[in-house]
Each structure stands twice: as structure tokens, then as C-alpha cells.
Amino acid sequence: MYRYILNRLLLAVPTLIGAAALVFILMRLIPGDICVVRLGGGGGMVDPKAVAICHAQLGLDRSLFLQFIDFIAGFARGDFGISMWSGKPVTLEIGTRLPVSLEIAVLSTLVAVSIAIPLGTISALRQNSWLDHIVRTVAIAGIATPSFWLGIMSILFVLEISQLTTGAPWMPPIDYVPLWVDPLHNLSIVILPAITIGYRYSAVTMRMTRSAMLEVLREDYIRTARAKGLLEQLIVNRHALKNAMLPVVTLIGIEFAFLIGGLVVTEQVFNLNGIGRLFVQAVQNQDYTLTQALVMLTVVVFVITNLVVDVLYAWLDPRIRFG
Amino acid sequence: MTKRNGWLATALATTMVTTMATALAVTPALAETPKHGGTLTYMIPADAPPSLDGHKENTFATLHATAPFYSTLIAVNPDNPSSTTDFVCDLCTEMPKPTDDGKTYTFKIRTGVKFHDGTPLTAADVATNWEYIIHPPKGVSSARESYMVMVDKVENPDPETVIFKLKFATSAFVPALADPFAYIYPKAQLEKDPHWFEKNIMGSGPFKFVSYEIGQSMKGVRNPDYYHKGQPYLDGFNAIFAAKQSVRVDAIRSDRAATEFRGMPPSARDELVKELGNKVTVQTSDWNCVNLLTPNQKKKPFDDVRVRRALALAIDQWKGAPALSKIATVHTVGGLVFPGSPLAATKAELEKMAGHWPDIEKSRAEARKLLKEAGAEGLKFELMNRNVDQPYKFVGTWAIDEWSKIGVHATQKVLPTGPFYDALRHGTFDVAVEFNCQNIVNPVLDVAKVLPRSVYPENYGGYEDAKMIELYNAMLHETDPAQQRVKMRALEVYALDTQVDTIMTPWWNRILVQRSYLKGWKISPSHYLNLNLANVWLDK
């Protein structure tokens, strides 16, 4: 097992170098100049001397090769450098936003899992019943509805309902406070995004749970268990669900990794200062160092998540052995 | 000497009339006694600013987050910010009368002013800061160096005096000096590390720094030692960054925030007024920002003045402005100069220029004739625009529709800010929706946008024109207001009517919706002005 994990981690190295080279080249293919955006984006006069000083300060007057070597060397040391836009260490920029994205990702996953697995299972067990039809309708609606739209609608719903009931429109606070500072304030901010993201997430997971369960329930060993007279609850929980979880866990892992950096629009809708919003800013501002670091972070998250999912496979299915 | 006195007399008279008019207009507000206390929460319609250094940055995001912490030498009158000529002392004791034929300005600096760390602020701090802004040392960036070309040197003969010696007398100096980004930092820290202010705050303004959550919020608390006695009225402020408009509108609607200080589109105003009625107030102003339709004269057929003129003549400014103002943040038909300025063209003067003729049918017939003469009938081209809704895309779409009425087929190409600037700088466009948005109304400098790129680096028209430079310099150096106005007209007619180097669109309209309990703050023609919050109070 440990050997397998080590092998997987070593295999991640070329993946990371490839991703690093790709993002480095792609960022520089986008036309534009961070210094001009920074000094002239507001519409005022851009002083060429100020632009030249800006280029020198950001190291953009050096050759691309030197810039790439710096980036790779820094990455190997765990030093992503300074954000070209804010002048702050990239680790600080990301570190400030990561807890927000992580909290949303964890809560959304909890919401999704707690909805998807019971409903997906029930839907499979009651295939083609009215309950199954309702669950499938809810799941398809969830897949078809973009989270950001649902987010806007949920805020408007809260505003309208509060206006109707209390006479004054209300919405959750807009200034994020960490969970450990003020749990109530924090939860009132993150609960709506967690539900809206979790709903779409649960819809996909629900579909996967249902189809995996349907497949497993038709297996010979389930028929044997029933023939032996085992309780249906025991068959479902111990024999069917655990085996049906293999593709579901993979999906949960991929979705979780996506949530860390992929909530680009949803974070803007809820004014959450997370990694997704930072990603958009970094690309818009042509902040090379920050964009490169964020891409690398995303790659690392995906690599680790996939590794965790693979390790979970062995626990879920004892037939799987790591060579 | 006579010219200077005439200018001063006119300026003084204008100021007095404006002040009186404003005083009459705002009598009910003045009748109210400001209340102390409370924390103002407002939205900043941006993501995190690049840095906190006013000297270095050009974005309003920096200013909206940091202006309450800082003092400036002079400022627009916070009680009359709509005036383009009313400037008052902030750190100085009295607005000086220029001497030496308008080339020397001597400022006396207040005594007893302290930075937030308790160290005294003296004239040496003011002089050093201005020296850094005008003549930045090697490796230090000043975004306003170009605006201060008229200044020769800054002197500090004693702890209470700062003297600005100009290379030439110009009416552009005082507005340039009132630049809201020209924060006064402690001299010792500035000399020790000028980059320190990019990440730290140390000012002498009405509020002291409390915290900055990157990309999220800036918090300040009342400065009890503030030198304008009795101010600030607020206990503190909480500024929240929110780039998305729906977030800001919802925040004001639910009273999570009292306002924002940039500007909203008409739809947001209408929504908030409909939902909240008299719980909100609306302030509007012409905005010192305008979109310009700039043909690239390095590309055919835009090197032909007949084609450029035809494009200008096709646009019905007078009918378009009121219609557009219902959906976009534009409002007033104008020329090169901000419509609220004494140097701006009157309606009669505008109507003589291409694209402003009162008879649009005659104008379009002339446009078709010119296109035919130039062999450009059925002209097709790409209109490059910036990926910003308000008002860029609205203005671009409107222009395309107007051009279609003379048989010109334009398509809109929308680019993000970085690639947009790249295309402008490399001249890889046909016609661009450009913009000119300055932080203080200073028409003498603002109109420099039409100067060729060899003189003004942010001109993208792709032309060289010695006569334009000559006309501009004549206007820049003219100190008699009446004569300066005449020379401004000559420049404007040459740029917009004779050469048609750029085509005006309606000037922007600044609309702000605020919770009714927010008092004391008055709108100005720029989202960069009047932001230190010293005179703001909450009627709760």
C-alpha cells in the first residue's frame, strides 16, 4: 500500500511539470500587459515611465526562459513568489481564500452526500415507483440548473420572503467571518451557497448512486443473500450499498476537487472571497504568478483527491489490491 | 498681470456663485445638525485593489478603500463637490493667490496636525510627498507624474510653508494639485521605504486604520485627533469589496450596506427605488467619463477624413442620449470638455460640429455623400469594445445601429481589458470604443487625449498632427479664462469636426442610490472625489 502511494506520488511529478509548462505558456499567449491594465484600467493617463518601472519590478523585462526557470525552481521549493497584482506573497493570497473555499466544499459535499445517497438508494430500491419518478425529476432538475442561477434565485427568495413576512428585506451578512470566530455569523453566510452548490452536486451523485445500486442489486451474490433469508436492510447496507459506492466515491472525489477552485461564478454571486473568485481576478488582471500558483494548486488537489479515492477503493472492495 | 487678475476674479465669482447656488439648493440638508456615532458600511464595486499606495495606483478601488485614512494638500469642496472650480484647503490654511505671473503658489500648512502614530505633520512632509509625486526617485512609480508637467520644483523654506514653482502659468495646476490620490505620507517613512505604503496605511485623515481583509473588506475607526474640529461624525466605517452588481444592490436593499460610491445603472436605481421608496435617496451627476469612437487612421479607409466624418455624421447624439440614458449610464451630449465645466461647448457651439447637427436627415445625407466620394459605400468593419457592460456595450451597440442607417455594416468585437489594451497599443483594430475617465475635472489636461501618440502615449488613433499640438499648447498656456475658452473651441473643432480624429458619445451619468439615513455626502462628477467621509453622518 505504502509503495503504491509512493509510486503514485512520484508519477505526479511529471504531471505537475507538464501542467506548469502549459500554464506558463498559455498565460503568456494571452495578449495584454498587467502593468497597463493596472495603471490604465480606470481610464486615466498611463505614464510610460510608470509602466517601465512596473515591468522591472515584476521581472517582466527578463527573458521568458529565465522567468520559467524561476517559476519551476520556486515551485520546487514551495515558493510561488509574489502576486504581480497585489505585491503580496502568493501563499498569503491563496491562504486567505482557501479556508472559504474549503469550508464551502466540505459543507456542499455534506449536503450532497446526505441527500444523494439515501435518495439514490431509495430510488433504486423502488425502481419505477412514484417515489423513483420524483427523485429522478429532482435529480435531473438539479443537473440542469446552474448553481449560480440557483444562488441568485435563493438570495431573491430570501429577500422577498423576509419582505413579505417582516416588512423589511433581509439577506445573510456579506462580510465573511471564520467559523472559529463567530460560528453563527459564519454559518448564516455559507449555508445558502452550500445548499445551492450541494443541490447540483447531489443531483449528479444521486443519479450515480441509483444506477450503481440498480446494477449491484441484480448481482448473483445479492440474490444469494436474499435466498439465504437475510434481512433486506442488511442486504442493502452491508452487501449492496458498499459495493455500489465505488463509482460514487470517485464522483464525490472529482466534484470535491472541482469545488476548491471551480466555483467561479457562484462565489461572485454570494460575494465569497474564495479561490474561484481569486482565479477569475488573477486571469483578468493577467497576474502570471498567481494564476500559475492557482493552476498548480488545482492540479495538486486533483492528484491528492484521486489518490485518496484509490485508497478508499481498497477499503470498499477488499478484492482490490495495490501492486 | 491684468490677465491673471481677470482670471482670478472670474474664478472667484464663479466659486461664489456656485457656492451660493449650492447653499440655496441644499438648505434643508444644512438645516440638519449632524449626529455623531455609528458605523457606515459601504460597498466597493471592485475586487481587491493592486496596492494601497495612492501615489502608485490609478484605480478607484484603492481610493475607495484608503481615502478616509489620508489627508491631501487641497481638495474639491466636500460641501460643493459638483463644482468643477471650487477647491478648498485640507492641510493648508488658505488657498493661495499665485504670484510671479501665476508661476508661484505658496501654501501655509496647518499646525498641530498629527499622523495616526502621533508624529506631527509639517510642511516638510507635504513638500517631500509632492516631490515624490512630481519627480519620483529611481525605481519609484508615480501615476501622476504626467499630470504635473507644469511644476518645476517644490520648496520647503520653513516648517509651515510649501512653495510650488511652475515652469509656466496654467489654470490646470490647481485642479491637478487637488488630485485625490495625492496622499500625504510621513516623510521619514517615505524616504526610508517608498514601497511601504503599498501594503501599509499611515495617514493623518479622519479615520485610523483597523483592518484589511484582502479582497474582502477595509475597516477604519474615528480619528479623535482629526484637525477639522468636530469631524468625522462616524465612529468608523466598513468598506466591503463586491465586484458583482447584484450583490451590491441586494446589500443596499437589505440594509447590509448603505451605499456604494461609484455609480449604478438606471435599472439598479429603479429596482431599489421601487422596493425601498423613501428609505433611499438618489443623487445623480454628469460624470467626468466618456466613451470615444476612435477610428484607426493607420488602416484604410479610416485614413480618409471623409470616411471618419461620415461615421460622425451618422450618429444622432441628440436623440440617442435621452434614449440611452434610460438603460445605460450615459446622459449628456457634449464635446471634448466635460459638460459641467466653464470651458465646455454650449449647445449652439456643439451643433456646428459633425455628429451634433440638429437636422439628422441632412447630416446622414451628407454622410452618404462623403462615403460615396471616398469610395467606401457599404463599408464593413469591426468595432472593438471592452468587455464591460456599462456603458461600453450599450454605446457600441447604439453606434453600430446608427451607422447602419448610412449603409455601414459594423460588427462588435468584445475583449477583456488586457487584450483590449493590447489591441489598442498595437493598432490591431478598425474602430475602437475607447474611454477617457479622469479622477478630477481638469479639462485643460483631460483633452490631451486627442494629442498624437508621440505626445500623449494613450492616444490610439494612429495619427501625427503638428497643428493639433500647436492648438493644444496655445490653450494650455493661456491663463485668461475667456481666451482659453476660445482656444479650447479651436482645438475641439479641429479634433472633432475638421479632422474627426475621434467621435464623441454622450458623457456618462453617475447615479448613486443611498440609504436615506446616510447624510452629509454629496455627489461629484467623479467617482474618485469626496471620499474621505469626514462630513458623512448617519441619521439613525
Chain A touched by B58 (CB under 8 Å): yes
More confident residue, B270 or A148: B270
Q: Rounded to the nearest 5 degrees, what angle is found at the Cα of B507, between the Cα atoms of B505 and B511?
A: 135
Specify the pLDDT at position A42: 64
- pLDDT tens for residues A138-165? 999 998 998 889 999 999 999 999 999 9
Q: What CA–CA distance (Å, rounded) separates A23 from A26?
A: 5
Q: What CA–CA distance (Å, rounded) separates A110 from A180?
A: 19
pLDDT at B22 exceeding the cut of 80: no
DSSP symbols for A27-64: HHHS---HHHHHHHTTSSPPPHHHHHHHHHHHTTTS-H
A57 contact residues in B (CB cutoff 8 A): 139, 141
Q: Do A41 and B448 touch (CB under 8 A)?
A: no
More confident residue, A323 or B243: B243
Q: Do A86 and B50 touch (CB under 8 A)?
A: yes
Q: Do B418 and A155 touch (CB under 8 A)?
A: no
pLDDT at A1 exceeding the cut of 80: no
Nearest CA-CA distance, residue B48 and chain A, Å = 8
Chain-wide mean pLDDT for chain A? 88
Q: What angle, 0 to 180 degrees and rounded to 10, lies between the N-to-C axes of helices A183-217 and A90-125? A: 40
Q: Which among B47, B214, B437 has the least Cβ separation from residue A44?
A: B437
Specify the pLDDT at position B36: 97
Whole-prediction pTM:
0.87
Chain A touched by B193 (CB under 8 Å): no
Instruction: Report which secondary-structure segment, H or E, holds B368.
Output: helix B360-373
Chain A touched by B413 (CB under 8 Å): no
Q: Do A87 and B198 touch (CB under 8 A)?
A: yes
Q: Do A87 and B214 touch (CB under 8 A)?
A: no
Q: Do residues B533 and B259 lie in contact, with contact meaning Cβ atoms separated by under 8 Å?
A: no
For residue B36, give the C-alpha cell.
Answer: 455623531
- pLDDT tens for residues A74-120? 888 888 888 988 888 999 999 989 999 999 999 999 999 999 999 99
B418 contact residues in A (CB cutoff 8 A): 30-34, 36-37, 284-286
Q: What CA–CA distance (Å, rounded) separates B59 from B49?
A: 7
Q: Which among A33, A44, A277 has the least Cβ separation from residue B439?
A: A44
Q: Do B214 and A48 touch (CB under 8 A)?
A: no
Q: Which among B143, B244, B275 has the least Cβ separation from residue A47?
A: B143
Q: Are strands B380-386 and B409-415 parallel, antiparallel or unpaired?
A: parallel
A33 contact residues in B (CB cutoff 8 A): 418, 421-422, 425
- Nearest residue of chain B to residue A85 (CA atoms): B50
Chain A touched by B139 (CB under 8 Å): yes
List the B161-166 sheet strands across, edge first.
Answer: B104-108, B161-166, B151-158
Q: Do residues A58 and A34 lie in contact, with contact meaning Cβ atoms separated by under 8 Å?
A: yes
Among A220-234, A305-319, B296-310, B340-354, the minimum mean pLDDT is found in: A305-319
Percent of chain B exceeding pLDDT 90 equals: 85
Chain A touched by B273 (CB under 8 Å): no
Confidence label for B268 from pLDDT (cuts 50, 70 and 90)? very high
A69 SS3 class: helix
| Chain B interface mutation, best of A26, A33, A47, highest count of B Cβ atoms under 10 Å | A47
Q: Characterize B378-397 residue by residue with b for buried, 16 or more Cβ atoms within 10 angstroms of its Cβ, and e for exposed.
A: ebebebbbbeeebbbbbbbb
Nearest CA-CA distance, residue B25 and chain A, Å = 32
ipTM, 2 dp = 0.82
- pLDDT tens for residues A199-256? 999 999 999 999 999 999 999 999 999 999 999 999 998 889 988 998 898 899 888 8
- Nearest residue of chain B to residue A171 (CA atoms): B254
Q: Which among A37, A85, A87 has the least Cβ separation from residue B417?
A: A37
Q: Do B213 and A273 touch (CB under 8 A)?
A: yes
Q: Are strands B280-295 and B380-386 parallel, antiparallel or unpaired?
A: unpaired
Q: Which among B142, B199, B458 has the least Cβ separation from residue A88?
A: B199
Candidates B276, A270, A287, A269; CA nearest to A278 is A287
Question: For chains A and B, what is the number of CB pairs under 8 angstroms?
Answer: 166
Q: Chain-centre distance of CA B264, in angstroms?
A: 16
B439 contact residues in A (CB cutoff 8 A): 42, 44
Chain-wide mean pLDDT for chain B? 92
- How many other C-beta atoms are found inside a 10 Å radius of the C-beta of residue A279? 23
Q: Do A268 and B243 touch (CB under 8 A)?
A: yes
Q: Do residues A42 and B60 lie in contact, with contact meaning Cβ atoms separated by under 8 Å?
A: yes
Specify the pLDDT at position B19: 38
Q: Do A42 and B59 touch (CB under 8 A)?
A: yes
Q: Do B58 and A271 touch (CB under 8 A)?
A: no
pLDDT at B24 exceeding the cut of 50: no
Specify the pLDDT at position B294: 97
Chain A touched by B238 (CB under 8 Å): yes
For residue A297, give the C-alpha cell.
Answer: 494548486
pLDDT at B15 exceeding the cut of 50: no
Q: Do residues B301 and B374 lie in contact, with contact meaning Cβ atoms separated by under 8 Å?
A: yes
B419 contact residues in A (CB cutoff 8 A): 30-32
B141 contact residues in A (CB cutoff 8 A): 47, 49-50, 53-54, 57
Q: What residues 286-305 of chain B have any CB closer than 8 A to a CB of chain A?
A: 289
| Chain B interface mutation, best of A94, A165, A273, A287, highest count of B Cβ atoms under 10 Å | A273
